[in-house]
Amino acid sequence: MVNYSYVLLIGMVHYIIVTGGVISGLGKGITTASIGKILQFYGYNVTAMKIDPYINYDAGTLRPTEHGEVWVTEDGGEIDQDLGNYERFLDKNIPKHHNITTGQVYSAVIEKERKGEYLGKTVQPIPHVTDEIKRRIKRATQEEKVDFVLVEIGGTVGDYENVLFLEATRQMKLEEESILFIHVTYVPALTTLGEQKTKPTQHSVKLLREIGIQPDFIIARSEKPLDDVRKEKIALFCNVHVDDVFSDPDLDNIYAVPLLFEEQGLSKKILKKLNLHGGKSNSSRWRKFVEEIKGFKTPVKIGIVGKYFDIGDFQLFDSYISVIEAVKHAAWFNRLKPVIEWIDSKTFEKKPEKLEMLNKLDGVIVPGGFGLSGIEGKIKAIKYCRENNIPYLGLCLGMQLAVIEYARDVCNLKKANSTEIDKNTPHPVITFIPEQINILHESRYGATMRLGAYPAHLKKGTKVYELYGKKDVVYERHRHRYEVNPEYVDVLEKNGIVFSGVSPDRVLMEFMELPNHRYFVATQAHPEFKSRPMKPAPLFNGLIKAAKSG
């Protein structure tokens, strides 16, 4: 007999809305990505979106210390870092319009209003703004055939700024979309009591229900696993079945979260609620990867010489999240245990003798960055790595500073600099990209950079060429304004720098290396954005391999 309910559901798109309760910074992005992963285990095609309720049009103008890293998509979006988690977990590129901000929604509505598209109506938050939100959410189903769209709503329930987004998703349910709601909440345990407290969760679900949304599932973040008593309490007060309350305690490895959900049967329950009788979950490859990591005991110590230390240490972690993940992926790929050391470059400016600490490391990274602070300290660290044969990987600013250091010290171009750092330098070895000058002069600060994936032609026989599997052309993502000045390429090359990758017109230097060094490789791009678990970014893999061979 034909199962008609199943037939009807074929080709249908299912939406899973993830909301947050109690506090932000719960790892809702990782939770969302993990829900996506367990659905992928069943063979479903999944994509994910992030709603950021701030008024900024995108994340390009946000300060990293305030909001964490700016993630760059393949199509050149400057986006919230959660899209990075989606890409890493789901192993697919997520386009920039999968990040929706209040700024984008309102600017679209106002533009339409000015064009007279609302036919003389009073334009209002409901329905016009909510319609625009729904249109943007549903757009995710138009670019590829997807079974699931996960929509993470930033912030917490009760914030003024995400009310219209919640309202839009409430309407989607009313409009009979196949949709379900997962509320990710926090269950604190006061040290003095030692008891997990569910009251904040009860309150946040109460707020959600006032808006008209009844969560289908509750995922409780907590330090330790949730006990049965707490589960029952949450179930009763939040109007869900006790089996629909899931425990999401702190784990050492974020990539273990999908398995934790799998063990509690979350995917089966999601599928059941949506009347999907999907086959069997295949999580064996992911499980093997997560299990193996636990056994890697040999450490590989990588120092990250950074500068975003101004607002407390914990922020620093967020500013470099993709670099950290890329180091981890590459270390695990080489069956090593990654150990990351944070080094404030300003230390070397005040106390150059501290440079010796770099000897204790297996490799050093100077990641991307903007502005002046800590620059000379980074240059000192790069010089130390170059002279002492310590494996070095330069990312964007890390390449620019490697060129400056080399120009000063090897090419004898004293006071060589980037015009970003010293406008009057006698040797502007790093300077503006010509086509960017006009944009910057117009002082349009949003999206004035070279953004997104660009091709580079690799030079045969170089380390970079080998690491990319002997590919002639590779695409990496960019986010910068400055470039190696073409006028200095000759002198740099004559003195030993090999530019192992260049833009198709050969004007822009995309990769560089020093042939007689154990590993001294840098790129104008940000290869960390394409690193995925089990598929490390080639240059990070190269760094770890060199570090290990020392």
**Minimum CB distance to ligand GLN, residue 413 (Å):** 19
Closest CA to 499 of 478, 513, 520: 513
User: Could you say whether residue 68 binds ligand GLN (CB under 6 A)?
Assistant: no
**Closer by beta carbon to ligand GLN, 53 or else 306:** 306
Smallest separation (angstroms) from ligand GLN to the CB of 433: 8
Q: Which residue is nearest to ligand GLN (CB)?
A: 368
Binding flags for ligand GLN, 420-449, as an x/- string (CB under 6 A)? x-----------------------------
According to CB under 6 A, which one of 385, 397, 411, 539 is a site residue for ligand GLN?
397
Select from 197, 165, 204 the least CA-distant residue to 22.
204
> Which helix (H) or strand (E) element contains residue 218?
strand 217-222
Q: What binding mask, one character per residue, do residues 457-496 give for ligand GLN by CB under 6 A, x or -?
A: ----------------------xxxx--------------
291 a catalytic residue: no
435 is catalytic: no
Q: Which of residues 94-133 bind ligand GLN (CB under 6 A)?
A: none
Q: How far apart are CA 533 and CA 257, in angstroms?
A: 14
Q: Which of 53, 76, 95, 369 touches ligand GLN (CB under 6 A)?
A: 369
Q: Provide CB contacts within 8 A for 405, sequence distance 6+.
A: 379, 382, 383, 386
What b/e sequence results for 507-526 when a residue is b if at least 16 CB atoms lie within 10 Å of its CB, and e otherwise?
ebbbbbbbeebbbbbbbbbb
Largest CA distance in the chain: 83
Q: What is the Cα–Cα distance from 361 to 88, expressed in whole angstroms?
A: 27
Q: Which stretch binds ligand GLN (CB under 6 A): 81-89, 395-403, 496-504, 534-542?
A: 395-403
Q: Active-site residue 528, yes or no?
A: yes
CA distance 400 to 284: 42
Interface with ligand GLN (CB under 6 A), residue total 11
- How far, in whole angstroms, is CA 49 from its chain's centroid? 13
The closest of 47, 9, 37 to 274, measured between CA atoms, is 9
Element at 115 (helix H, strand E): none
* Choices 211-219, 341-349, 368-376, 380-388 (CB under 6 A): range interacting with ligand GLN: 368-376
- How far is the C-alpha of 331 from the C-alpha of 548, rounded, in Å? 10
Report whether 46 contacts 150 (CB < 8 A): yes
Q: Which stretch binds ligand GLN (CB under 6 A): 94-102, 246-254, 274-282, 364-372?
A: 364-372
Give me the catalytic one of 14, 396, 420, 483: 396
Nearer to ligand GLN by Cβ, of 136 and 479: the residue is 479
User: Which positions touch ligand GLN (CB under 6 A)?
Assistant: 368-370, 396-397, 400, 420, 479-482
* Residues catalogued as catalytic: 396, 526, 528
